[in-house]
Structure 1
């Protein structure tokens, strides 16, 4: 089962509005959902995205689900904003992206599964961000 289905979008946008925007073509709504999941995955790289987005039902993180729905509805209403206020949808989208950026920075710690460590996977792939830098360049004049 998918992380998010078209029928579950009805908590954010009525079924008849989804039907109007997509003109009965379910692939348009599925494309918006896929784009929203891909966008969220880009911010959640330090977590196990495979486990997060393969969950279904009550096993999903409900806050993440709400924000993925907001992003999907934003992508859907960009096609046609029939029956919904575009500014409201834009505000919800920006709120979702701000939350994902806060998670990415580490300001917010959601209850999401971490990526497996090197000992668990047996590989040498780096886990997490790597910081590097150097001292400022110095000019010495004699």
Structure 2
């Protein structure tokens, strides 16, 4: 569960940030993570399993090679970051198309602060 939530956090777009609207690919995380059996993306599944193994390993006191698990975890997180930024693209994943026609956001804003007066 924690691994799935962590993976979702990397792929969920924050529509309150302007950088999200710069044309990068936005993935439909609800569809990606609700898929079952053979409908799941095998690469996403593999990286989520790596995250899950690391979370389980941190709870374990048995003789365990922590460095190897940490290295795999770091690689999985790096891959999710690249996927979220668009450096790595998976064409098989469902995407979100934002409708910019009704957006109130403007690419630029101008103005000044209100004048500050010391009234004594």
**TM-score band w.r.t. shorter chain:** 0.5 to 0.7
Structure 1-normalised TM-score? 0.58
**Using CA pairs below 8 Å that are at least 6 residues apart, which structure has the higher relative contact order?**
2
CA distance 1:49–1:87, shift in 2 (3 Å) = same
Number of residue pairs matched? 94
What residue ranges of structure 2 are gaps of 5+ in the alignment? 13-25, 111-120
> What stretches of structure 1 move > 6 A for 4+ residues in a row?
131-134
- Look up the match of 2:73: 93
Deviation of the 1:51 alpha carbon: 0.4
Structure 2-normalised TM-score? 0.68
CA RMSD of aligned residues (A): 2.8
Q: Which has the larger radius of gyration?
A: 2
What residue ranges of structure 1 are gaps of 5+ in the alignment? 1-33, 135-142
- Look up the match of 2:94: 113
- Return the structure number with greater helix share: 1
